[in-house]
Structure 1
Amino acid sequence: MRSQLPVTFRINGGGKYSLAMRDRMEKDLFSKLGSAEEYVNEAGEKAAKPFALPWYPDRLAWQLSYSRNVLRKVPQLADVHAFIVRENDKGNITRQEAVSMVPPLMLDVQVGDRVLDMCAAPGSKTFQMLEAIHKNGVDKMTSGLVMANDVDAQRCGLLTHQTSRFSSSNMIVVQHEAQDFPRLQEPERNSGKHIMFDRILADVPCTGDGTLRKAPDIWVRWNHNQALGIHPLQARITLRGCELLKVGGRLVYSTCSLNPIEDEAVLAEILRSTNYAMQLVDVSDLFPELKRCPGITKWTVNDRAGRIASYEEAQKGNDPKRRSIIKRSHFPPTEEEAAKMHLERSMRYLPHHNDTGGFFVAVLEKVCEIGHDAEMGAHLSNTAARKRKEKVDGAKSNDEGDDADDAPAKKQKLEGGSSAPVPVLGREEGRRHHRGIDPVVAVTSDAVHSQLKRFYGISSSIDLSTSLMTRNLDAELPKRIYYLSDAAKRVLEADPTGDLKVIATGVKVFERQEAKDADPKNSCSYRVVQEGLYVLLPHMTKQVVTASLMEMRKLLHMRSCRKESFENHVRDQLTNPALGKGCVVLKFDPKLEASDKEEGEVSVINLNDPIFEAGGCAICCWMGEAALSLLCDKVYAAMVLEKLGGPPPQEVIDRCVADKAKAKEEMEKAAANGAAVETAVAT
C-alpha cells in the first residue's frame, strides 16, 4: 500500500493495427531490456522487465514494474520513457490504471451494440468501448453507437479530446446529470417506443478510497459520512441506467471504493427497487488470471459518532443530522434477501491482488421489464423523485400534443435575407435551446452537395444528402461539416424536444477553404479534413494522387515540396489539367513501391503492414500554383512518417531544399526586373 502504482498503458485501436504496433514495440524496444539489466524500485527491490497483463485480450495492455518517478530518472529507461510520452501524445496508447480497464471488458460490448457511458470523463473506458464497436476497423461502417455523458462541462471537453483521437462517426458526447438522463423516443412518430441501450456502464462518482496508492492524502480527508452521503446518488444513477437498459442487456456498476456502503449496499437497493428485474451475473469464469475476491453480504454502518445497529436506531436518536443522512438502504440485506440477491457475484479487486489500486465491479442483467418510475425509488430523495415525475409528465404532454401529420421545421434567416426551413436533427416547434451550445443542423444545401460530389468525384455509394451535419444554423455555407453515422443520427432524431445537450458528435470531414484565383468550374469551397479522410477516401474518384514510398516520405518530412521536386509519376498527375486546384489527397500505392525496387533490394517497410490495408496510407494536401503542402498537423505527419520508414535519404532532402532556393531566387529576380521596368517607365 505504501509503494507507488506501477505504470500501465493500453495500446489503442484494436484489430490488426494495434497488434502490429504491439509486435514492433516488443521487438524494437522491450527486447533491448535484457535480463542482465537490473533496475531498482522505490522499495529497493529489483524491478522486472515490462510485461503484458496476462488477463487483457491479445496482450494489448502492459505494465512497467516501476513508477513514473523511476521511469523518468533511470538512464537505462530513457527510451522507454520517451516511447510512453511520444505514443501517448500521438494517441497510439492510453496511460490507464490496470483495474480501470476491467469494467469495459466485463461489459462485453459487441460490434452492433448501442452503448451508454453514464459518467464517462475523462474517457479512457469510453475509448475501450469505441474500440469494441469498431472491432472490424474504424474504416468499416458499423451499426453500433457509444453515447458518453458527464455532468461537468470541462470534463466533457476532456472527454471529447480523449475520444476524438479515434475519429469515430458513431460517437455522441452529451452533458447531463446521470440520474436524470433524458429518455428518448424512437424516431417513428407515435410508436410509443423508447431508445434503449444494449450495454450501459455506470462508473459512478465515489469517495475514491481505493485510490490511496496514488492519492495518499485521502487518508487525511476520509470520513464515514462521505460514503453515507454519496450512496443515494450512486443508487439513483444506477437505477436510471436500469430504466434505459434493454431486456437482456447488461449493465456494469463500478467504483474505485472498497466501502460496502458504496458497493454492495447500492446493488442491494437496486435489486429491491427493480423487484429483481435486474440480476447479478456470475462472471467468475471470465479472465481467470485476474485475481479478485467475491462481494460481501454483511457489513456495519458507521457515522462520525460511531456504529449504528439499525435504521430504526438512527431514526429514534436525538441527532437530526444522523436521522437525515442515514438511509434504510445503507444496511445489509436480511438472510432471505441475501440468498436471493447473490451479492457474492460482485467482485472486489484489492491492491495486493494484481499490484493495482482498489476497485469494485458488478455485472447486472435485465431479465424483464421494470415497473413505472413512480412504483419504485423509495430510496430517492423527495426532490429527485419530484424531478423525475415532472420529466415523465412533461414528456407525456408533449407526446399528446404532437401533430402526427404536420411537424414543420422552424424557419431561420439565412444569408442574403432569404428564409427557408433549416432541418435540425429531431427539430420541432418548442424545442429547447441550451445556452452556449450550438444545435446539430443537417446540411441540406443542394449547392454544397453538388459541389462536393463534382470536385471530389464522390460516388453514390455514400449518401451525403442525409449524412452531413454542422453545428450552426448557417446550413447554406457552413464553416465545418461533419459526417454522422446512421446509428448516431437515429438517436438525435429521437430527441424532438431538444432534451439532449449535445457537446460533440460525428467526425469532421470538410472545412471551408477556398483556393485563390481558381477556376470556379474546377475548384471547391471545402477541403477534406485528415481525421475524416477514412470515411471519404473509399468513395472518392477525383483529387487523388498516387505516390511511391519515397515521395510520401519526402513530403511528410519537408511538409511542402515544389512540383518539380517530385518524380515523373507524381509530377504528371499534379500538372494534369483535370486535377483541380486546392485540396488533394496523396495516397501511397504499394504497387509503385514494388515496381520501383531493383532486384535484391530490401524495402525499409513491411508492405503487409495493416496500415496499408483499407485504402492504404493517405494524407490531405493543398496544391497551389507551384507547390504541394501538407494539411495535417506535425504530430500526425511524424506518426505516418515513422510507419513509412522515417525521413528520406539526405540527398533527397538536399534536392528539395535546392529546388526551393532556386524558385525563391527566380522569384526575387522577377520581382527585381519588374521593379526596374516600372522605374524606367516612370522616368
Structure 2
Amino acid sequence: MGRRGGKRKHGSNRKAVSKDTENSGNHQDNRNADYVSYEVVMENKKFADYYKAQNIVSESDWDDFMAALKRPLPVSFRITGSRGDASDLREYMKKVHFPALQGFDIDGEVINPPNPIEWYPNQLAWQFDCSRTALRKSPKVKAFHSFLMSETNVGNISRQEVVSMIPVMFLDVKPSHYVLDMCAAPGSKTAQLLEAIHNVGENYDSETLADGLVVANDSNYERSQMLVHQAKRLQSPCLLVTNHDGQEFPRVFLTDRHSTEGATVLQFDRILCDVPCSGDGTMRKNKTIWRTWTHANGNGLHRLQKQILQRGCELLKIGALRLVDVSADLPQLTRRSGLTTWKVMDKSGVMFDTFDSENESHRTTLAPTFFPPKNVDELGLNNCMRVYPYMQNGGGFFVAVIEKIASIGTMDNYSIPKEERVSRSSEKVFLDSQTTTDTTTAETPAKSDELKAENTNEPILNENLKRPSNEEQSDSKRLNCEGKGVDRKGWFGVSESPFVFVESDSPLANKICDFYGMSPKFPKDLFVVRTAKDEEDFRSIYLVSSPIKKILMAKNAGKIKIVNTGVKVFKKNGGENFPTCPYRVSSEGIQTIAPFLSPARQITLSLADLCIFISFEYPKFTEFSKEAQAQFECLVVGSCLLRFNPADEKDYTGSITIPLVLPFFRSHVSGSLLIDKAERASLMHRLTGVMLTEFKPMDKSDRNDISC
C-alpha cells in the first residue's frame, strides 16, 4: 500500500517496492524519477502493548483481535429504508445478482453472495466480503459493483461501514424529532437520521411535510460540501447543513430572548456526536495507522472531545444526564460493556492508573478527566458499548447512549419565565472545565494522515475576541430571510448566497401554484431561493419544512453558518417558449411535490409507453399508443408528472411493485423524462430486466422545443 506524492522517507515498518521494471515497455511514465512506494507492514509493538495493558479483550481473544485488524474491510451497504421500493430493491438484488455470485473462485479466493447484517431490520443492510483483485478480474462481480454504484447515485443505496450504522439504531429517532448531527461529515449517519425522520408509516397524510428536522454540522467547510452531496440523494426538505466547530454551535433564539414568558431556544430531541478521535478503530481501512500510531493521538483530542460533549448536553432538550442501558436492544449485535478501569500513558510512555499517582511528572500533560473518577461505579459506564473488529468482521467502535433528565445550563434556563430563572452563578455545570490542571496543554497528537484529514485548514477562533451582539451586527452579517438579502461574507472568507423566502402571495408563487393546480394544503410560504436578484432571475426554487423555516427566521439567525438547506422542487427552463409557467418540476424534489399537484398536470402510461420515454431522449408523441397520445393532447406545454402502476400491467415480471412517479416535460410535438442516464438505466433493468447502454436523441428540428 503506497501513499501519494513524491519521494518518501524510509520508516521502520515500511517495505520498499522496486519500480525498476515498471518503466519497461512503450508507455510513458510521468512519475517523478525519485518516486518510491511502500507497502505498510501491519505490525506496531507500541500499539499492541498499549491495548494489551488496557485489557479491552480477553487473553484468549487477543490473537483473533489482532488478526482481524490486518484483514481488509468487507464492502457494506444499506438500502434506503424510508423509500417505498426498499423491499422491491432487496428482492431484485437477491434474485438477479446473488445467483451469479456463487460457485466460483478467483485466484483461490472463494466468492460468496453478500450476507445480511443480522441485527439490522428487514434485511436492508448487507456485507460483501470481496477483495479489489476479485472486483477487477471477475465480470460477474463487476456487474454487481456497477449495480451498487448506480443505485447509490440515485439514493436507493448508501455505502456505509457496518459499525457506523450502529449509533443511529440506538437513538430511536421519531419523525417529529429535532435531530443534530454535531460532527456529521462525510454524512452516512446523517442519511440514516434522515431516513428515520421520513419513516412516517402507512397512515401518514401525504399532503403534509415531516414535522422533524436534521441539522448536519461539520467544522470543515469542504467536508460540509461533502455532506450536501451525500444528502442530495435523499431529497429531503428537512435537512439543514451548517459549518461550525461542534463545541461552538450557536445558541439560536426562535422567539424573543427577552420575553417575560421565556424564550424558545433551539434544542434537540436527539443528538448524534461522532467526535474527532484517534481513528484506531479504522485500521482495517486506514492502514497508515500501523505506521503512525501513537498514544498522543487520543490524549491530544481529550479536551476537544469534552468540549463537544458539553455543548451537546446543553443543546439537548431538558437537563442533567445518565447513561442508558440499551443492552436489550439489537440482541444480535455482539458487543462488550464499557470499561470502569483503564490506564493512561504520559508523553514519556509511562502508564498511570490514577491522576493522584505519587509520580507527579505526568500532571503537566494529563488532566484528572483522563482517568476513571472516584465515583465510577455510580455512573453506569458498564452501559457503554464497545464493538471490536473480530466480532462481526467490521471495524472498531464505541457507543454511549446518554439521556438528559433535568436542567443543567443556561440554554434550558431561557425557556423558563424570568422570575423563575436560576442565576448563572448558582448553576451546576455538567463538566468541570475550570480545574487548573485541565487548562494545561495536553500532549499534541501526532499528525497522522487520519488527523490531517480531520483538521486540514481548520480555522482557529480567538476566544478572547469580543463578538458583536446580534443587534450590533450589520445586515451583511445576518441571514436575511425577509427581503432580497445580500451575500453573507466573513465566515473565514467563505461567501454563501443568502436564503430568501418567496412571499406566499407574490406573482411568482401564484403563477407556479396556479399552473400546477397545487392543493390548498400546499405550504407555498416555504418556497426559498438562494439569490438576491429579481424574481425573473431565480434559476431554482427550493422547499424547506416548517421547522427549518423557524431556524432561518430566528431572531439571531445571522449567527448560523448555513451551507445548504431545502430540496430543489422547481427549476427554470431555458429559452422563451414558456409564457404560462417557466418553471419545471425538478427530479430532486418530485417525491416532495407530487402529492400536491393537480391531476390535470399528471398522466399515467403503460409499461410499453414508459419504456419508450426511458430509451429515447425526446421521442415524438406519434410513437406512442393512442391512449397515451390522448393524454398528451390534454396537456398544456410545460412540466408535469408521469405515473406508472405495475398493478395495472398484465404478465408483468419486473421487480418494481409500487407505483412510480417521474418528472416529465410536454413539448409541442415530443416529450422527455427529466431524469439522468443512471436513473434511466436503473429503471429499465428493474422494470424489464434489459440493460440499457445508450439513448437515442430526437431530431435536430425538435431540439428547440425543450431546454433541460
User: Normalization by structure 2: what TM-score?
Assistant: 0.75
CA apart distance, 1:371: 3.6
Residue 552 of structure 1 is matched in structure 2 by 610
CA contact (8 A) 1:553 1:647 kept: no
Residue 636 of structure 2 is matched in structure 1 by 580
Name the CA shift for 1:554/1:45 in 2 (closer, same or farther; >3 Å).
closer
CA contact (8 A) 1:116 1:201 kept: yes
Tell me the amino acid that sits aligned with residue 73 of structure 1: K
1:639 to 675, 682, 696: 682
Name the CA shift for 1:500/1:531 in 2 (closer, same or farther; >3 Å).
same
Where does 1:83-162 land on structure 2 (aligned, <5 Å)?
83-136=147-200, 141-162=209-230
In structure 1, runs of 5+ residues without a counterpart are 249-276, 403-408, 412-421, 668-683
Q: Secondary structure at the match of 2:345?
A: strand
Instruction: Tell me how far apart the structure 1 counterparts of residues 109 and 678 of structure 2 sit (CA, whole Å).
Output: 37
Sequence identity percentage: 35
CA contact (8 A) 2:480 2:486 kept: no
CA apart distance, 1:493: 2.2
Residue 355 of structure 1 is matched in structure 2 by 393
Whether 1:568 aligns to 2:626 is yes
Where does 1:30-41 land on structure 2 (aligned, <5 Å)?
30-34=98-102, 37-39=103-105
Tell me the amino acid that sits aligned with residue 330 of structure 1: F
Residue 508 of structure 1 is matched in structure 2 by 568
CA apart distance, 1:70: 3.1
CA apart distance, 1:166: 0.5
Q: Secondary structure at the match of 2:533?
A: coil
Q: Secondary structure at the match of 1:216?
A: coil
In structure 2, runs of 5+ residues without a counterpart are 1-68, 411-423, 442-459
Name the CA shift for 1:14/1:624 in 2 (closer, same or farther; >3 Å).
closer
CA contact (8 A) 1:430 1:497 kept: no
Tell me the amino acid that sits aligned with residue 297 of structure 1: T
Whether 1:605 aligns to 2:651 is no
CA apart distance, 1:30: 1.6
Residue 231 of structure 2 is matched in structure 1 by 163
Residue 53 of structure 1 is matched in structure 2 by 117
Instruction: Tell me how far apart the structure 2 counterparts of residues 649 and 286 of structure 1 sit (CA, whole Å).
Output: 43
Instruction: Tell me how far apart the structure 2 counterparts of residues 315 and 194 of structure 1 sit (CA, whole Å).
Output: 47
CA apart distance, 1:168: 0.5
User: Mean Cα displacement is larger for which, 108-117 or 133-142?
Assistant: 133-142
CA apart distance, 1:141: 2.6
CA apart distance, 1:207: 0.7
CA contact (8 A) 1:426 1:497 kept: no
Residue 436 of structure 1 is matched in structure 2 by 495
Deviations along 1:300-351, one digit per CA (max 9) or x if unpaired, are 111231225454569954xxxx6543112112222xx111112111111111
Instruction: Tell me how far apart the structure 1 counterparts of residues 328 and 277 of structure 2 sit (CA, whole Å).
Output: 27
Residue 299 of structure 2 is matched in structure 1 by 228
Tell me the amino acid that sits aligned with residue 215 of structure 2: M
Instruction: Tell me how far apart the structure 2 counterparts of residues 649 and 534 of structure 1 sit (CA, whole Å).
Output: 24
CA contact (8 A) 1:88 1:94 kept: yes
Where does 1:169-318 land on structure 2 (aligned, <5 Å)?
169-187=237-255, 190=259, 191-247=262-318, 277-309=320-352, 310-311=354-355, 316-317=360-361
CA apart distance, 1:622: 2.9
CA apart distance, 1:606: 6.4
CA contact (8 A) 1:432 1:499 kept: no
CA contact (8 A) 2:383 2:400 kept: yes
> What is the total number of aligned residue pairs between the two structures?
584
Tell me the amino acid that sits aligned with residue 543 of structure 1: R
Q: Secondary structure at the match of 2:78?
A: strand
Residue 586 of structure 2 is matched in structure 1 by 529
CA apart distance, 1:605: 3.4
CA contact (8 A) 1:431 1:497 kept: no
User: Mean Cα displacement is larger for which, 183-192 or 203-212?
Assistant: 183-192
Whether 1:618 aligns to 2:661 is yes
CA contact (8 A) 1:433 1:498 kept: no
Residue 342 of structure 1 is matched in structure 2 by 380
CA apart distance, 1:443: 0.8
Name the CA shift for 1:439/1:430 in 2 (closer, same or farther; >3 Å).
closer
Residue 677 of structure 1 is matched in structure 2 by none
Where does 1:454-493 land on structure 2 (aligned, <5 Å)?
454-464=514-524, 466-474=525-533, 476-477=535-536, 478-493=538-553
Residue 367 of structure 1 is matched in structure 2 by 405
Q: Secondary structure at the match of 1:29?
A: helix
CA contact (8 A) 1:53 1:63 kept: yes
Instruction: Tell me how far apart the structure 2 counterparts of residues 324 and 114 of structure 1 sit (CA, whole Å).
Output: 41
Tell me the amino acid that sits aligned with residue 540 of structure 1: L
CA apart distance, 1:73: 3.0
CA apart distance, 1:290: 1.1
Q: CA RMSD in A?
A: 3.7
Residue 136 of structure 2 is matched in structure 1 by 72
2:670 to 627, 645, 654: 627
Instruction: Tell me how far apart the structure 2 counterparts of residues 104 and 123 of structure 1 sit (CA, whole Å).
Output: 12
CA apart distance, 1:130: 0.6
Please state which structure has a larger fraction of its residues in helix: 1
Instruction: Tell me how far apart the structure 2 counterparts of residues 199 and 88 of structure 1 sit (CA, whole Å).
Output: 27
Instruction: Tell me how far apart the structure 2 counterparts of residues 646 and 457 of structure 1 sit (CA, whole Å).
Output: 36
Q: Secondary structure at the match of 2:313?
A: helix
Instruction: Tell me how far apart the structure 1 counterparts of residues 615 and 270 of structure 2 sit (CA, whole Å).
Output: 44
Name the CA shift for 1:354/1:590 in 2 (closer, same or farther; >3 Å).
closer
Name the CA shift for 1:33/1:410 in 2 (closer, same or farther; >3 Å).
closer
Whether 1:330 aligns to 2:398 is no
CA contact (8 A) 1:553 1:648 kept: no
Q: Secondary structure at the match of 2:641?
A: strand
Instruction: Tell me how far apart the structure 2 counterparts of residues 81 and 494 of structure 1 sit (CA, whole Å).
Output: 45
Whether 1:3 aligns to 2:71 is yes
Q: Secondary structure at the match of 1:644?
A: helix
CA contact (8 A) 1:47 1:66 kept: yes
Name the CA shift for 1:313/1:641 in 2 (closer, same or farther; >3 Å).
same
Instruction: Tell me how far apart the structure 2 counterparts of residues 237 and 47 of structure 1 sit (CA, whole Å).
Output: 43
CA apart distance, 1:150: 0.4
CA apart distance, 1:389: 8.6
Tell me the amino acid that sits aligned with residue 327 of structure 1: A
Whether 1:379 aligns to 2:443 is no
Instruction: Tell me how far apart the structure 1 counterparts of residues 480 and 217 of structure 2 sit (CA, whole Å).
Output: 25
Tell me the amino acid that sits aligned with residue 151 of structure 2: E
CA contact (8 A) 1:441 1:475 kept: no
Where does 1:398-437 land on structure 2 (aligned, <5 Å)?
398=470, 424=481, 434=491, 435-437=494-496
Tell me the amino acid that sits aligned with residue 440 of structure 1: F
User: Normalization by structure 1: what TM-score?
Assistant: 0.77
CA apart distance, 1:630: 2.8
User: Mean Cα displacement is larger for which, 338-347 or 129-138?
Assistant: 129-138
Instruction: Tell me how far apart the structure 1 counterparts of residues 440 and 507 of structure 2 sit (CA, whole Å).
Output: 51
Name the CA shift for 1:54/1:426 in 2 (closer, same or farther; >3 Å).
farther
1:26 to 91, 94, 114: 94
CA contact (8 A) 2:488 2:498 kept: no
Name the CA shift for 1:40/1:359 in 2 (closer, same or farther; >3 Å).
farther
CA apart distance, 1:71: 3.5
CA contact (8 A) 2:323 2:380 kept: yes
Residue 261 of structure 1 is matched in structure 2 by none
CA apart distance, 1:588: 2.5
CA apart distance, 1:388: 11
Residue 494 of structure 1 is matched in structure 2 by 554
Name the CA shift for 1:379/1:388 in 2 (closer, same or farther; >3 Å).
farther
CA contact (8 A) 1:169 1:485 kept: yes
CA apart distance, 1:228: 1.1
Instruction: Tell me how far apart the structure 2 counterparts of residues 648 and 325 of structure 1 sit (CA, whole Å).
Output: 62
